[in-house]
Amino acid sequence: MAENLVQTVKTENFEMDYAKFGTGVRPLVLLPGMSLKSTMSVASMVADSYKIFRDDFTVYLFDRKKNFGESYPMEQMAVDTAEAMDAIGIGSACMIGISQGGMIAQLIAEQFPQKVERLALGSSASRLNDMSRAVMTEWKRLADEGNVEALCSNFIDKVFSEETIRKYKKSLMRLNSNATEQDMKRFCVLARACLEFEAYEGLKNLKCPTLVLGAELDRTLGVIASREIAEALERNGVPVELYVYDNYGHAAYDEAPDYRSRILEFLKK
């Protein structure tokens, strides 16, 4: 992997890290979900997992902006990401949003429709339900307490499938065992942003063809969240496709072997 995989874009208002890979002529913006540590720390792994996109797209994996303080509403994340795209020279792009990244992507598609050509939403939501609100509230509480071990354990249990938990939980715990106090504060702000998030009413403003990928066993946001996005878009006349994985949970985006190829096929239409 090239040493300059992770770069920093600077605007008048903030700095934001991003990873760039691929040689395709079409730009693709990838917005990751919440994580205990910045996705940039595993950017090379993400680039490898999305290698099938390299020939058709130049992929831009965006982090959240640096030093965002004690409050960072999702609406501001969307504005900042759009500004970072402008600063890099991305006028419009296909976009993949995973979990919280999908929430941000929905807001970008609503507020800056000219920027999103085609949209793929993986295990995401347009608003929280009782289950997801309880999950985010618990994550925020554990992050507030700085309880790294309990937060990591709860996060893994809610996000991954039973098989992955059985095989890899100890390894996943070790990956995040060195999370810092600053990491916990960052995660707490991201969880609060989810608790304050609402984009369901704004779905009527989306215009771009959209692929919604849900998971029947999603214990984080719930499959109902994916279904209601697809139903709202279809009701509003937006070209939308819904695919639900029967035997996967929230992290189907990492576990289902055909997940990325399904997205690639949609984006190339």
Whose CA is closest to 254, among 188, 186, 156? Answer: 156
How far is CA 213 from its chain centroid? 12
Residues of the chain with pLDDT below 50 are 1-3
Contact 89, 20 (CB under 8 A): no
pLDDT for 141 equals 98
Q: What is the pTM of this model?
A: 0.96
pLDDT for 4 equals 75
- Dmax over Cα atoms in the chain, in whole Å? 47
- What residues does each domain of the chain span? 6-127+199-267
Domain 6-127+199-267 has CATH 3.40.50.1820: yes
* Residue 154, burial from CB neighbour count under 10 angstroms (0-12, 13-18, 19+): middle
